[in-house]
Chains A and B, each alone.
Chain A
Amino acid sequence: MLILTNARLIDPEKGTDKLGSVVIKNGKIAEIVYGDTPKGKTTDCGGKCLAPGIIDIGVKVCEPGERHKESFASAGRAAAAGGVTTMVIRPDTKPAIDSPETLHFALSRAVEDACVNVLSMAAMTRGRNGKEMAEIGFLQDAGAVAFSDADSVIADNKIFGRCLTYAKGLGALVMGHIQEPSLSKGSAVTSGPFATKLGLPGASPMAERIQLERDMALVEMTGVRYHVDQISTAVALPVLERAKAAGLSVTAGASIHHLTLNELDVEGYRTFFKVKPPLRHETDRVATVEAVASGLIDIISSMHTPQDEESKRLPFEEAASGAVGLETLLPAAMQLVHGGYMDMPTLWRAMSLNPAKLLGLAGGRLAKGAPADLVLFDPDKPFVLDRTTLKSKSKNTPFDGRRMQGVVLRTFLGGQEIYAKS
């Protein structure tokens, strides 16, 4: 039995943030007490925040294929250090997780090596080629929690429509990427004056709206459960709003990078700021943050994408996209709270409760009977991020050298401590 007392309890379900204690028994939350301190051997949390562990949808662990970039062991350590207790991994590995065999491999490796919960998505089409449907029934039986071709869009409407229809029959969740491929092809940044100044090829924010419009039409046609992996532009938000108002079974996510950085960060051709979709204009960033606060956008994720130094040390257009984010998700998200955009329970609704609801998980809540997956953190403590200290094998963070606030002190998985700040 573990009793954590004198903690600011962040309860995303009730929307509360007040001092109290949590009693943990047999890996589960046995009791939540406000007011009197429970009897027994207690651990004083010193008034720091205690919240459900983060459920991060869309993490790339580079197994199979590119273990030098990230392994289950290193990703697990990074997750624990970042307060992430459940990683939902992406299928864009080499080879793609598109068969029950590759899925089995990934999940077994996760059990062997990762110190946090790991769930896996699987590819919608074989090799993410956008042409032939993967065995999504078998994959679902083998444990795939959602289907997605990651950042590759199934451009053929007939094929995508059939995939959605088939997925609907299985009750499966589909995750879409909404960057219209013909407009996005060859682009490295968002079009506009800044792209023009740097002379980099840009894609219009309209590329996002066009693809979302198409996907919403097909969701309406098929009735499938659909989640947008990342929405990042102001022009696409009204489409999402209409779809939700029409009662379609649609949810949406945003990456922490699009909520805390904008296109100007690329200045000087800094490839660590090259992500997919590209960073947007400041007005898009603010609109996206406000949509998270209002609940229009349901989920925040890190979109953790490890890349080695070589693939980033290239001219901007040639350089690989993506940034690591497991360890920096929480401190970066604190910027949204400290900036006055949302309160702590609202943030946790997007980082633990909504992901749990989307995937039908028992965690993500601060409630009696829920698994004791918890993170204790100091929301105010300032630090300067040094990328060499990251636990990920790849150090491609855009936050290197940045002044941040918010430090994870301890992380618990099923009541067991899996990380403690030294």
Chain B
Amino acid sequence: MGISVRHLLGIEQLSPTDITTILDLAENYVDLNRQANKHSEVLAGLTQINMFFENSTRTQASFELAGKRLGADVMNMALGASSIKKGETLVDTALTLNAMNPDLLVMRHPQSGAVDLLSEKVNCAVLNAGDGRHEHPTQALLDALTIRRAKGRLHRLSVAICGDIAHSRVARSNIFLLNKMESRIRLIAPQTLLPSGIDKFGVEVFDDMNEGLKDVDVVMMLRLQRERMDGAFIPSEREYYHRWGLDVKKLANAKPDAIVMHPGPMNRGVEIDGDIADDVTRSVIQEQVEMGVAVRMAAMHLLADGLRATKREDAIC
């Protein structure tokens, strides 16, 4: 058992089998994480460095916990503050860290493609924890695990992704993943928050939320990324909530057993009604967080296996 990639840079490079392999292993870790003793030695002796060039509480905590539960030595570097300010380039930062012989590098960066650039310069396995508006693969994987557990499958589902698609790496990774797993994707957003040419990605696009949510199995809400906006995209938050915010009335269009997801952090009253977010019969938002740790454990486990296999080959040669 293994996956076909050396780094986890994006969903785009993964095969459906890779995705299934990661999710299957993650199921084991869901079980482990629910026991009193959550410790495993799978990554014992390995070093994991989390490099976050962008502020993150949730993802960084999730990766840190995943590494620690697998027995890795985990180090966190908040890089927003230090080296960049001193004028060091990303490549130099990467080379410096590489010289410390880490085995797993987890990186988040505000620029699309930065993680790809880093992966070309280092010897260890690189995990993308979100780069610009490009990809956030572990988020899509944890969403997939959540959906699979709730619906029993990933294929032939109708999934609506709603909100700020233009600025969202989560949306891109989810579109790639759900397409690979043969689900139907609907995008619902104001035209200004749809990236150009998105209709070529094998999705149906809706402007109207009621129409778009009709009979869907999964409703994925996205955060309105006010910090990434550089101009007028929507007239006001209250108009946005009125037309594209998820409330009970709009949700009634979806299948009665449709689940509601959100990658967090939520803007209650902007893209989602607080009552829906807290409704345990519909919302799986807390479960997504739980799946996040398990999926990251699985991904790091598989990458570490790949890493050990390469090192063995090197030793033989």
Residue numbers of A with Cβ under 8 A of B are 186, 191-200, 202, 204, 268-269, 310, 313-318
Contact = CB atoms under 8 A, between A and B. Distances in A.
Nearest to A188: B112
Interface in B97-122: 109, 111-114, 116-117
A318 B90 CA distance: 11
Interface of B: 12, 89-91, 109, 111-114, 116-117, 131-135, 169, 172, 195-198, 200-201, 230
B112 A317 contact: yes
Contact of B116 (A186, A268, A317, A318): A268
Contacts of B132: 199-200, 317
Give the dominant DSSP class at A's interface.
Answer: loop
A186 B230 contact: yes
Given A315-B90, A315-B111, A315-B114, A204 B230 contact: no
B113 A192 contact: no
Contacts of B169: 199
A329 B100 CA distance: 44
Contact of B201 (A193, A198, A318): A193
Contacts of B116: 268-269
A204 B132 CA distance: 20
A196 B198 contact: yes
25 contacts: A186-B230, A191-B197, A193-B197, A194-B197, A195-B195, A195-B196, A195-B197, A196-B172, A197-B12, A197-B172, A197-B201, A199-B112, A199-B113, A199-B133, A199-B135, A200-B112, A202-B196, A204-B196, A313-B89, A315-B109, A315-B111, A316-B112, A316-B113, A317-B111, A317-B112
Contacts of A268: 116
A204 B133 CA distance: 18
Given A199-B132, A269-B116, A310-B89, A316 B111 contact: yes
Contacts of B200: 193
A92 B3 CA distance: 50
B260 to A, nearest CB: 26
Given A268-B116, A313-B89, A313-B91, A192 B172 contact: no
A193 B199 CA distance: 8
B131 to A, nearest CB: 7
Contacts of B230: 186
Nearest to B89: A314
Pick the 4 closest A-B CB pairs, nearest first. Answer: A199-B134, A193-B197, A269-B113, A199-B112
A317 B90 CA distance: 13
A112 to B, nearest CB: 35
A326 to B, nearest CB: 28
Contacts of B113: 198-200, 269, 315-317
A265 to B, nearest CB: 14
Contacts of A318: 111
A314 B90 contact: yes
Contacts of B90: 314-315
Contact of A198 (B89, B109, B134, B196): B134
A315 B117 contact: yes
A204 B90 CA distance: 29
The interface centre, meaning the residue of B91, B131, B132 with most chain A CB atoms within 10 A of its CB, is: B132
